[in-house]
Amino acid sequence: MHNKSLVSSARRRVAREAAVLLYTEQEKEYKQAKRRAAQTLRVRVLPSNMEIARELDSFVEETEGSTRQERLVQMRREALQIMDVLKGFHPRLVGSVWRGTAHKNSDIDIQTFSVDPMPIFAQLVRNGFNIAKTEWQSVTKRGKREASYHIHLALPSDDEAEVVVRSLEKFSQKERCEIYGDTVTGLSYTQLQKVLNENPVQKFVPQ
């Protein structure tokens, strides 16, 4: 029993250290953060991504206080404005602004779906959004290569948003979250509107 509690305590310490590394942007990925944290603390246990996410969430709560919730509501409102312009492309708010776990280094992540990314780019330009950069990114999922077009926006508030354009057939496909292990549902335009009206700081994380 004693050994079990020692392991549990070590996991918690590694998760906390990894959370700090992610928050301070010394590491970008959970995998590297937990390995580096374990190395720093000289232990051999590695916590799950969800354990790190929970530690990160509580660390942000302690560090940022009430400004965190204010920022979350502002970012959700900004997301709604972007999604309003892109209504014809099935926009969906994902990432930490959807989850309700955003912090001062977070950006707004919006997925859209289209045969061609150019109409989405044109729609954003037409509506006065400041395009910081665009890029094609390619990932391998389940042995298949998938390319998506990323449009980075610089918003007047100094927040940043990333609009990802994925192929239309991906719209009905559900993905598993690598951090929480649940399905990434995100929020549609009308769902986000409802959240902002009823409970603007609502969290969407597994208990």
One digit per residue, the tens of pLDDT, for the chain of length 207 reads: 456 677 788 999 999 999 999 999 999 999 999 999 999 999 999 999 999 999 999 999 999 999 999 999 999 999 999 999 999 999 999 999 999 999 999 999 999 999 999 999 999 999 999 999 999 999 877 778 888 999 999 999 999 999 999 999 888 888 999 999 999 999 999 999 999 999 999 999 998
Q: Which helix (H) or strand (E) holds 196?
A: helix 189-198
pTM, two decimal places: 0.91
**Which two three-digit tokens encode residue 13?**
């310490």
Q: In whole angstroms, how far apart are CA 153 and each of 116, 130, 167?
A: 19, 6, 20
Question: 66-198 sits in which CATH class?
Answer: alpha beta
Contact 195, 202 (CB under 8 A): yes
Q: Rounded to whole angstroms, how far apart are CA atoms 56 and 64? A: 12
